[in-house]
C-alpha cells in the first residue's frame, strides 16, 4: 500500500473512531479492551497520535517519550482527540518524502513507517470504539486488513520482544480467503519468523483462515478465535491469543 493510502486510512479510521465514541459516550465499556471505558481508549489514542506527530513534525532522530494522557472527559476530550488526529494527518500529508526521524519497525522510509503504523493503530482502536456500540466492530477494507496482518506478523512479531514462542518448532499458517494472501509463521523458542506468500505446500500444525478483516481483528485479539476458521492444533491458536498482545511501553 502507498503512503497516501495509509494516510487516507488513518484519516477515515480516526473520524469513525470519534463518531463511535461520541455515540457510545465516554463512560461506555470497551468490550474489546476489558477494564477500559471509552474515555480510557480516547486518552490512549490521542497520546499516541500526538507522540507520533512529534516525530514527523519535529524530526526527532532518537526515541522521544510521549506527553502522557490528558486529564479530560466528555466533549472536551472528544475535541482534544479530534485536534490531535487532525494534526497527525496534516503532519503526514505535508512531510517531505525524505523525512528523517526515529522509527521502531522496518519500513521503506520513516514517512512510510509512521503512515502505516498509525493507520493500523487507529483502525484497531476504531474497532475498539465500535465495540462499545450494540453492533460491535464494523468491517475493515480487505486490502488494509491484509496489510495490517502483514505488519503484525512480519514486523511487530518479528522483533525479539515477541512472546509468541514454542518449545519445539511449529508452523502456524494464516490464510486470507478473499485477498489470497498467505503467511507461514514459524514458531520456535526464538522470535517468530514469518514468510508471506509461501507456497502453502508444507503441512501446517495449525491454520487460521477467513476474510482478511476477520483475521486482522482476530489476530489483534479484537474478535474471538471462532470468528475465523481453525484447523489443526488449537493449542497454537490459544498460544497466540495468550501471548501476542502488543502493549504500550
Strands of the 206-210 sheet, one edge to the other? 193-196, 182-187, 170-176, 206-210, 229-232
Regarding whether 157 and 116 lie in a shared domain, the answer is no
Report the pLDDT value the prediction gives residue 248, as an integer from 0 to 100: 75
End position of a domain, from candidates 130, 153, 168: 130
Regarding whether 8 and 94 lie in a shared domain, the answer is yes
> 3-class DSSP state for residue 74?
helix
Nearby residues of 132 by Cβ (< 8 Å), 6 or more positions away: 20, 21, 24, 28, 29, 30, 31, 38
Look over the chain and give the mean of its residue pLDDT values, rounded to a whole number: 96
Regarding whether 100 and 67 lie in a shared domain, the answer is yes
Q: How confident is the model at residue 41 (pLDDT cuts 50, 70, 90)?
A: very high
Give the CATH number, domain containing residue 99.
Answer: 1.20.120.450
pTM of the full predicted structure? Answer: 0.97
Terminal alpha carbon distance of the chain: 28
Give the structural domain span for 10. Answer: 3-130
Report the pLDDT value the prediction gives residue 225, as an integer from 0 to 100: 96
The answer to whether position 78 is within a domain reads yes
Regarding whether 7 and 85 lie in a shared domain, the answer is yes
Regarding whether 185 and 85 lie in a shared domain, the answer is no
> Region 29-44: what's the mean pLDDT?
98
pLDDT in tens, 155-183: 999 999 999 999 999 999 999 999 999 99
Regarding whether 89 and 157 lie in a shared domain, the answer is no
Which three three-digit cell numbers place residue 104? 521502531
The answer to whether position 236 is within a domain reads yes
Q: How confident is the model at residue 199 (pLDDT cuts 50, 70, 90)?
A: confident
pLDDT in tens, 127-138: 999 999 999 999
> Region 90-113: what's the mean pLDDT?
97
The answer to whether position 136 is within a domain reads no
Closest CA to 161 of 247, 102, 84: 247
Regarding whether 165 and 124 lie in a shared domain, the answer is no
Number of domains in the chain: 2
pLDDT in tens, 9-26: 999 999 999 999 999 999
> Region 215-240: what's the mean pLDDT?
97
Regarding whether 115 and 8 lie in a shared domain, the answer is yes
Regarding whether 91 and 12 lie in a shared domain, the answer is yes
Which three three-digit cell numbers place residue 225? 478465535
Report the pLDDT value the prediction gives residue 37, as an integer from 0 to 100: 98
Q: What is the DSSP string of 132-174?
A: TSTT------HHHHHHHHHIIIIIGGGSTT-----SS-EEEEE
Regarding whether 19 and 124 lie in a shared domain, the answer is yes
Q: Answer whether residue 202 shows pLDDT above 90.
A: no
Q: Answer whether residue 249 shows pLDDT above 70.
A: no
Q: How confident is the model at residue 65 (pLDDT cuts 50, 70, 90)?
A: very high
Share of the chain above pLDDT 90, in %: 96
The answer to whether position 137 is within a domain reads no
The answer to whether position 166 is within a domain reads yes
End position of a domain, from candidates 90, 110, 130: 130
Amino acid at each position: 500500500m502507498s503512503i497516501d493510502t495509509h494516510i487516507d486510512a488513518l484519516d477515515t479510521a480516526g473520524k469513525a473512531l470519534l463518531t463511535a465514541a461520541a455515540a457510545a459516550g465516554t463512560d461506555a465499556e470497551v468490550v474489546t479492551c476489558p477494564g477500559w471505558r471509552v474515555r480510557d481508549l480516547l486518552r490512549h489514542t490521542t497520546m499516541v497520535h500526538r507522540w507520533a506527530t512529534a516525530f514527523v513534525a519535529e524530526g526527532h532522530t532518537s526515541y522521544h517519550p510521549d506527553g502522557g494522557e490528558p486529564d479530560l472527559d466528555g466533549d472536551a476530550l472528544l475535541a482534544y482527540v479530534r485536534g490531535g488526529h487532525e494534526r497527525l494527518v496534516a503532519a503526514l500529508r505535508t512531510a517531505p518524502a525524505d523525512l528523517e526521524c526515529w522509527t521502531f519497525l522496518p519500513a521503506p522510509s520513516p514517512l512510510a513507517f509512521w503512515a502505516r503504523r498509525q493507520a493500523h493503530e487507529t483502525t484497531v482502536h476504531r474497532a475498539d470504539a465500535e465495540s462499545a456500540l450494540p453492533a460491535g466492530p464494523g468491517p475493515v477494507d480487505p486490502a488494509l486488513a491484509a496489510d495490517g496482518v502483514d505488519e503484525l506478523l512480519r514486523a511487530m512479531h518479528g522483533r525479539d520482544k515477541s512472546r509468541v514462542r514454542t518449545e519445539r518448532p511449529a508452523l502456524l499458517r494464516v490464510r486470507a480467503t478473499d485477498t489470497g494472501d498467505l503467511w507461514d509463521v514459524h514458531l520456535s523458542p526464538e522470535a517468530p519468523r514469518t514468510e508471506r506468500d509461501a507456497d502453502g505446500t508444507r503441512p501446517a500444525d495449525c491454520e487460521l483462515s477467513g476474510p482478511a478483516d476477520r483475521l486482522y481483528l482476530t489476530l489483534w485479539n479484537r474478535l474471538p478465535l471462532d470468528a475465523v476458521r481453525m484447523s489443526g492444533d488449537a493449542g497454537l491458536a490459544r498460544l497466540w491469543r495468550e501471548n501476542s498482545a502488543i502493549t504500550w511501553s
